[in-house]
Structure 1
Amino acid sequence: MRKNTKQIYVGDVPVGGTSPITVQSMTNTITRDIESTVNQIISLEQCGCDIIRSAINNIDDAKAIPIIKEQIHIPIIGDIQFDYRLAIEAVKNGVDCLRINPGNIGNKDRVKEVVNCCKEYDVPIRVGVNSGSISQKFIDKYGGVNSDSLVYSCLEQVEFLESLGFYDMKLALKSSDVNMTIESYKKISELTNYPLHVGITEAGPKSTGIIKSAVGIGSLLSQGIGDTIRVSLTAPPEEEVIVGKEILKSLKLKTEGVNIVSCPTCARTNIDLIKIVEEAEERLKTVDKNITVAIMGCVVNGPGEAREADIGITGGNGEGLIFKKGKIVKKVSEEFLLDELMNEIEKM
């Protein structure tokens, strides 16, 4: 069962509590390049991104925020490193949330200025600590970079913000080490009730980053830990959103969109199943139906094994079958199999 954490709002999107788990990404455009940034955010929205984060590296980036917000439809988080003044400017210019590591933006007086500004503008803070930004005193205390030093470094920042009367926050404790990430989130979930932003930082290129993210994020979500997620890939940000949604769908934490099941192929496969699946995946991206579609390679793995699918296809030797809930409804030529599948889905 998912832990019922404190609920906060990022713009108009709830995070935590019983609200749906959200998928985030981060733009890789220069934020002050408004046209490029808006275009990328719109593309991410179309993929299903719920919340977007953008780096605020200078005052022009901060001043671009209100113009960007006029043209997008999801909340925007300002990502700040080191300069507390940029955090304040980002809040004043309308970001819906701040992402900061309080330990790297200066002394406590500077952190207090940022917190007071967030209070005034009703902006939450994502307290972010990763394995590269752990306080040295906790590294010394717990014998290196590990889940304990990560957790207690984060809790120190949380306790300081609480001492300032600030409680509108979500927490992130990320590492590129999957096991350390899982251990850290499990520990902090037991120690605090703040909503948790879950991800594997610097997960790597698409081929391996997807695996690390699915294992790490999926393991935590399956234990009820996590309120919002980001898949961090060295790839176009749209890929992060697509993978994030699929992780949620695989755990039945998100039901919107088509769920595709397909067989791995074997010597019984007599159609170009890989090509058909790739084309089907592309065409089904735009279908907004909560259905399961099976694409199978032979009669053995056809209507029988995929009987729980809402609709599916199987084929061989130039012909194909369309079935619904395991019952054959149509036989068609292989060359028209995918077209007929899309026609039947449209009728559903």
Structure 2
Amino acid sequence: MNKQVRCGRVLIGGGAPVSIQSMTNVDTRDSEKLLTQIKALEAAGCDIVRVAIPDETAAKSFAKVRQETEMPLVADIHFNYKLALAAIEAGADKIRINPGNIGADDRVAKVVEAAGNKGIPIRVGVNSGSLDKKLLAKYGGVTAAALAESAIETLSKIERMGFDDLVLSIKSSNVKMNYDAHMLVKEMTDHPLHIGITESGTPENGRLKSAVGIGSLLLAGVGDTLRVSLTDDPVNEVIFGRKILESVGLREKSIEIVSCPTCGRTEVNLIDMANEAEESLRELGERRAILGLKPLKIAVMGCVVNGPGESREADYGIAGGNKEGLVFAHGEIIAKVAEDELIPTLIDIVSNDMTKK
């Protein structure tokens, strides 16, 4: 088991549940917009929010917002170590720095000392786009080994300063390189790992790369906290991050829909029906997840071969027939309705089930 650190109310590493992070993208200097976005991320189920602090005005805004929310906040600092000191003083729950662009070691040491005095962790970030020139020359460019060596060197530098509450982040936009770098690093350190695919892209491509990249690491037992990086509303990063955790079994699905692939026996328009059910129940599922309500299994089946059996095993379900179908609730048939009434009836009964665990 690896080490554990605390970021506000959230534990990272040491067997704690994998937490979901995102990063605000409004102007940090606008405290009202910043607070509004943090609240939106929290409502979506985000565990930790990272905030960029590019200048002193942003640092002052961050300090103001810090007084208005209990959400765990990470101050993201580049180039100016004094901004890190200001964020720590303002009450940041964690600091994210890249020691390579903060300046001389004495400046890094001041940040480390301030974080130690406040008892907050530091996330050390290493990206494929910011490797040291010496490493690029040594490995002939950006490679998994170069990323791993850079990460361990950076950790060692801070550890020599007497600081151990560290979280390591290694990110590449190349899924295979990202995976290989983590496979190397996991054998070289026991610090918690923040995982993700950096600059993964627009929503469609970014979700695909993130699902493969983050999912493969989680299945390999790597990752203590994650961020899905999308060129999109950060709320969508949180929603998709949860879907990844649900898909690999690290969080229960609030609503799981099972549906058959269709065949020549299907006598209802199951493809459209399954898509309609998924789309209509998405928001309800997100709300149930945030409220911690009992997970539900919903079956949307197309014929009499497997339909009744799957529907009886689910909390709720439908089994199609010849332009009509059966509606099931907790294993019992509760209605027989026309094809066009199957999904509306299903959605109605699921929406009315707000039973807690």
Q: TM-score, normalised by structure 2?
A: 0.90
Assess, with a 3 A threshold, how the Cα gap between structure 1 residues 325 and 178 changes in structure 2: closer, same or farther: farther
Asked if 1:323 is matched to 2:324, the reply is no
- 1:320, 1:337 within 8 Å by CA — same for their partners in 2? no
| TM alignment of 1:1-348, pairs within 5 A | 4-255=1-252, 257-263=254-260, 268=266, 269-270=268-269, 272-273=272-273, 274-287=275-288, 288-299=292-303, 300=305, 302-305=307-310, 308-315=313-320, 319-324=324-329, 327-332=332-337, 334-335=340-341, 336-343=344-351, 345-346=353-354
- 1:270, 1:317 within 8 Å by CA — same for their partners in 2? no
Assess, with a 3 A threshold, how the Cα gap between structure 1 residues 283 and 34 changes in structure 2: closer, same or farther: same
Assess, with a 3 A threshold, how the Cα gap between structure 1 residues 93 and 145 changes in structure 2: closer, same or farther: same
For the residue of structure 1 that corresponds to 2:167, the secondary structure is strand
> Which residue identity does 1:331 align to in structure 2?
K
More displaced 10-residue stretch of structure 1: 221-230 or 84-93:
84-93
C-alpha separation in 2, matches of 1:30 and 1:263: 46
1:257-301 deviation digits (Å, cap 9, x = unpaired): 333334455662435412332112233322242323324151255
Assess, with a 3 A threshold, how the Cα gap between structure 1 residues 154 and 209 changes in structure 2: closer, same or farther: same
- 1:261, 1:292 within 8 Å by CA — same for their partners in 2? no
Assess, with a 3 A threshold, how the Cα gap between structure 1 residues 339 and 256 changes in structure 2: closer, same or farther: closer
> Which residue identity does 2:49 align to in structure 1?
I
> Which residue identity does 1:338 align to in structure 2?
L
- 1:171, 1:196 within 8 Å by CA — same for their partners in 2? yes
Number of residue-to-residue matches in the alignment? 345
1:54-113 deviation digits (Å, cap 9, x = unpaired): 100111111122321233232000111111111111111111111111111111111111
Assess, with a 3 A threshold, how the Cα gap between structure 1 residues 308 and 249 changes in structure 2: closer, same or farther: farther
C-alpha separation in 1, matches of 2:228 and 2:351: 33
C-alpha separation in 1, matches of 2:284 and 2:232: 21
Q: What is the root-mean-square deviation in Å for CA atoms of aligned residues? A: 2.1
C-alpha separation in 1, matches of 2:353 and 2:320: 18
- 2:293, 2:355 within 8 Å by CA — same for their partners in 1? no
For the residue of structure 2 that corresponds to 1:254, the secondary structure is coil
C-alpha separation in 2, matches of 1:211 and 1:35: 33
More displaced 10-residue stretch of structure 1: 152-161 or 337-346:
337-346
Shift of 1:330: 3.4
For the residue of structure 2 that corresponds to 1:191, the secondary structure is coil
Assess, with a 3 A threshold, how the Cα gap between structure 1 residues 71 and 46 changes in structure 2: closer, same or farther: same
C-alpha separation in 2, matches of 1:138 and 1:325: 60
Shift of 1:46: 1.2
Assess, with a 3 A threshold, how the Cα gap between structure 1 residues 79 and 303 changes in structure 2: closer, same or farther: farther
C-alpha separation in 1, matches of 2:33 and 2:51: 12
- 1:197, 1:229 within 8 Å by CA — same for their partners in 2? yes
Assess, with a 3 A threshold, how the Cα gap between structure 1 residues 258 and 276 changes in structure 2: closer, same or farther: closer
Flag structure 2 segments of 5+ consecutive residues without an equivalent.
none
> Which residue identity does 2:28 align to in structure 1?
T
Assess, with a 3 A threshold, how the Cα gap between structure 1 residues 321 and 174 changes in structure 2: closer, same or farther: same
C-alpha separation in 2, matches of 1:303 and 1:246: 28
> Which residue identity does 1:214 align to in structure 2?
A
For the residue of structure 1 that corresponds to 2:126, the secondary structure is strand
1:123-167 deviation digits (Å, cap 9, x = unpaired): 210000000111121222222210111011111111110110010
> Which residue identity does 1:342 align to in structure 2?
V
C-alpha separation in 2, matches of 1:307 and 1:282: 24
> Which residue identity does 1:251 align to in structure 2?
V
Assess, with a 3 A threshold, how the Cα gap between structure 1 residues 25 and 343 changes in structure 2: closer, same or farther: closer
More displaced 10-residue stretch of structure 1: 10-19 or 254-263:
254-263
> Which residue identity does 2:111 align to in structure 1?
V
More displaced 10-residue stretch of structure 1: 174-183 or 306-315:
306-315
C-alpha separation in 2, matches of 1:306 and 1:185: 41
Q: TM-score, normalised by structure 1?
A: 0.92
- 2:126, 2:171 within 8 Å by CA — same for their partners in 1? yes
- 1:256, 1:289 within 8 Å by CA — same for their partners in 2? no
